Amino acid sequence: MLLRSDIPDSTVEVSSLQLQVPSRGGGIAGQLLLLIVAILMCIGIVVVYSSGAGWARSMYSSTEYFLWRHLIFILLSLAVIALFGRLDYHFFWKTSRLIFLASIALLSMLLIMKGLHIISGAARWIGFGSFKFQVSDLAKYALIFHFSRLITEKQSYIMDLYDSYIPLLTNLMVIVILVALEPNFSTASLIALIGFMLMFIGGVNIRYMFITALPLLSIAVVYVWAAPYRWARLISFFSDDEKFMSYQVAQALIGLGNGGLHGLGIGQSMQRELYLPLSYNDFVFVVVGEEYGFLGALAVIILFAGFMLCGLVIAKHAADSFGRYVATGITLAISLFAFINIAVACHLLPTTGVALPFISYGGTALLFNSLGAGILVSISGYSKRQAGISLLATEGKGGS
């Protein structure tokens, strides 16, 4: 466990009065968050099997190919939640800089391998054989840990331009640029949004962020315009003519329409059968809407809203500033990815390659999201444990 002496005084801001009065809010929120994650995983098992059976039969000659792989990753994810739920989250205070530098090194290695033509196409995955993971997933969490530490350390001068804002912005832009060059514009944009949100919550001067936003938006527009496929996605999104609508979106809207209020029933999706690409991953929400109807889709949205609320409650009751920022960053990251995936499926945002957390098929994404859930449980449990320790110490003094 990280000792109080190992953390600057500005990090541990829990007064003796706060520790003497146990806060049940964080502990209850942690338990409820675990329940929500478990329900989402159960939904994922059913929907991945339903949506992936046709694709698995055509690609691997087995309707259960995706199901068994998904079940294995579910079990691994539960182990990850159990492990990191018991680990003192201050471990990431000690290792935040190392994890951040490792993510930069891996992202740079991907680009070098792409430049040497070792990797063709988008340079997003690294690993050997069946053990591969998307480096941007690691980079997202590395940024949350490192930003949480930096913002905590800089609290006494967080409004300063040169000692606070510019170092934070530089760290953020390094990750965002490397992810964007993979290319992975959607994930790079989401990481940038998470970074700016953490800076805003941490008390960085808003005027500096507004001034920075103008050139960054201009660069983003040029970046989108430079790639014909990205530009085509924007045109298809804003066009009123259905002829220009992307095939994926058109099939997604048909699937959601088929579901009606109550849905077609479990395993009865018509769009999953090779009509809707990536129905078991990026567009898994469409299968939920088609098989379980508007009510089923609404239930999933409510579950993610509940996850976000629990995460924010955990952040509010965290024992120190570092825990508060980490909990906020993880909650925002998972919730943003969820609602953007749903918005894309409903044609409310342009098409992006963002999976639905805890439900979509995809091993490493599920493991990293489970890592985030485990850390949230750790933060909620730590606050409760610290309060209990303080009460025992107070009672001991009173009895002596």
- 170, with CB counted inside 10 A (0-12, 13-18, 19+), is exposed
The 3-state DSSP class for residue 125 equals strand
Please give the Cα distance from 55 to 67 (Å, whole number): 12
Domain assignment present for 4: no
Domain count, the chain: 1
**Identity of the amino acid at 327:** A
Please give the Cα distance from 178 to 297 (Å, whole number): 35
Percent of the chain exceeding pLDDT 90 equals: 52
Phi, psi of 133 (to 5 degrees): -140, 155
Domain assignment present for 6: no
Please give the Cα distance from 132 to 371 (Å, whole number): 17
- Per-position pLDDT tens, the chain of length 400: 444 434 444 444 433 333 333 456 678 899 999 999 999 999 999 999 888 777 777 777 777 888 899 999 999 999 999 999 999 999 999 999 999 999 999 999 999 988 887 877 677 777 766 677 889 999 999 999 999 999 999 999 999 999 999 999 999 999 999 999 988 888 999 999 999 999 999 999 999 999 998 898 888 888 777 777 777 777 777 766 665 567 777 888 888 998 899 889 887 887 776 577 767 788 889 999 999 999 999 999 999 999 999 999 999 999 999 999 999 999 999 999 999 999 998 888 887 878 899 999 878 889 999 999 999 999 998 855 554 444 344 444 444 4
Domain assignment present for 40: yes
Domain assignment present for 238: yes
**Identity of the amino acid at 36:** I
Residue 16: the pLDDT is 31
Please give the Cα distance from 118 to 110 (Å, whole number): 9
Domain assignment present for 7: no
Residue 274: the pLDDT is 59
Residue 85: the pLDDT is 95
Domain assignment present for 395: yes
For residue 331, give the nearest of 374, 376, 364 by alpha carbon.
Answer: 376
Enumerate residues 6+ apart whose C-beta is below 8 A from 24.
384
For residue 191, give the nearest of 204, 205, 178 by alpha carbon.
Answer: 178
Residue 239: the pLDDT is 66
For residue 140, give the nearest of 362, 365, 339, 311 by alpha carbon.
Answer: 365
Please give the Cα distance from 389 to 387 (Å, whole number): 6
Domain, as residue range, for 295? 22-399
Residue 397: the pLDDT is 47
Please give the Cα distance from 26 to 316 (Å, whole number): 8
Structure tokens at 356: 């639905």
Q: First CA to last CA across the chain, in angstroms?
A: 28
Residues 313, 25 contacting (CB under 8 angstroms) = yes
Domain assignment present for 3: no
The 3-state DSSP class for residue 103 equals helix
Domain assignment present for 17: no
Residue 230: the pLDDT is 74
The CA radius of gyration of the chain, in Å to the nearest whole number, is: 22
Give the DSSP H or E segment for 134. strand 131-134
Residue whose pair of structure tokens reads 């965290």 in the numeric block: 318
Structure tokens at 200: 């805003």
Please give the Cα distance from 113 to 123 (Å, whole number): 8
Give the DSSP per-residue string, 304-358: HHHHHHHHHHHHHT-SSHHHHHHHHHHHHHHHHHHHHHHHHHTTSS-------TT
Residue 214: the pLDDT is 86
Residue 233: the pLDDT is 74
Residue 194: the pLDDT is 95
Over residues 298-346, the pLDDT tens digits come to 999 999 999 999 999 999 999 999 999 999 999 999 999 999 999 998 8
* Residues β-bridged to residue 386: none
